[in-house]
């Protein structure tokens, strides 16, 4: 097996252990949205898409929301820790050093973007939150927290990604209602 497929398989195996039920689907779905947005996405960007939330998968060491007052500081710490966890996985698979560095840097900035590749990852991640995470997040966290999280996610989308999210249709009326409120209140 080549080094990139070895890395993808190991990343998926780690994320399969997450106690957050939507995490494995979200990882692959983020990669799918990335390839929808940019069919020519390179290996580093693809690895970062799959691994961006790897921090959440390891219960013993994961960064915890309740330890932070500020949501953005929590997210930045989660992203940095994910990059630290990803590096030895990629290295063990023999991934080239420049791809390792790029993938880890992209995971580190996936919540904020800042350059074209990071912005693509941020869009793919945020679209995927609306595509696969939101219904499960809603069941677990309730209306108010899901709305806060969704507003935060919607506001960080590019115009192109917003149009994609606006086209998502939920089975449950409550989700459809929540998305409409988010779209209207985000302006």
User: In the complex, which residues of this chain contact Fe ion (CB under 5 A)?
Assistant: 53, 125
Please report the sign of the dihedral spanned by the C-alpha atoms of residue 68, residue 101, residue 46, residue 124: positive
Nearer to Fe ion, 43 or 53 (CB): 53
Nearer to Fe ion, 55 or 125 (CB): 125
Nearest distance from C-beta of residue 187 to Fe ion, angstroms: 24
Nearer to Fe ion, 53 or 108 (CB): 53
Nearest distance from C-beta of residue 26 to Fe ion, angstroms: 6
Nearer to Fe ion, 53 or 102 (CB): 53
Identify the burial level of 138 via C-beta atoms within 10 angstroms of its C-beta, where 0-12 means exposed, 13-18 middle and 19 or more buried: buried
Nearest distance from C-beta of residue 9 to Fe ion, angstroms: 20
Nearest distance from C-beta of residue 125 to Fe ion, angstroms: 4
């Amino acid at each position: 097996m080549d080094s990139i497929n070895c890395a993808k398989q190991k990343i998926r195996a780690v994320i399969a252990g997450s106690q957050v039920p939507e995490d494995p689907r979200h990882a692959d779905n983020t990669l799918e949205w990335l390839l929808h947005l940019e069919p020519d996405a390179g290996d580093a960007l693809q690895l970062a898409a799959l691994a961006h939330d790897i921090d959440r998968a390891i219960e013993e060491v994961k960064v915890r929301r309740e330890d932070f007052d500020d949501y953005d500081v929590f997210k930045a710490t989660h992203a940095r820790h994910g990059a630290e966890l990803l590096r030895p996985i990629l290295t063990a698979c023999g991934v080239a050093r420049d791809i390792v560095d790029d993938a880890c840097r992209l995971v580190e900035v996936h919540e904020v973007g800042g350059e074209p590749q990071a912005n693509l990852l941020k869009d793919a991640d945020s679209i995927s939150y609306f595509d696969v995470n939101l219904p499960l997040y809603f069941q677990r966290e309730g209306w108010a927290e899901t709305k806060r999280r969704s507003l935060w996610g919607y506001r960080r989308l590019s115009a192109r990604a917003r149009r994609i999210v606006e086209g998502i249709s939920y089975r449950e009326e409550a989700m459809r209602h929540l998305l409409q409120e988010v779209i209207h209140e985000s302006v």
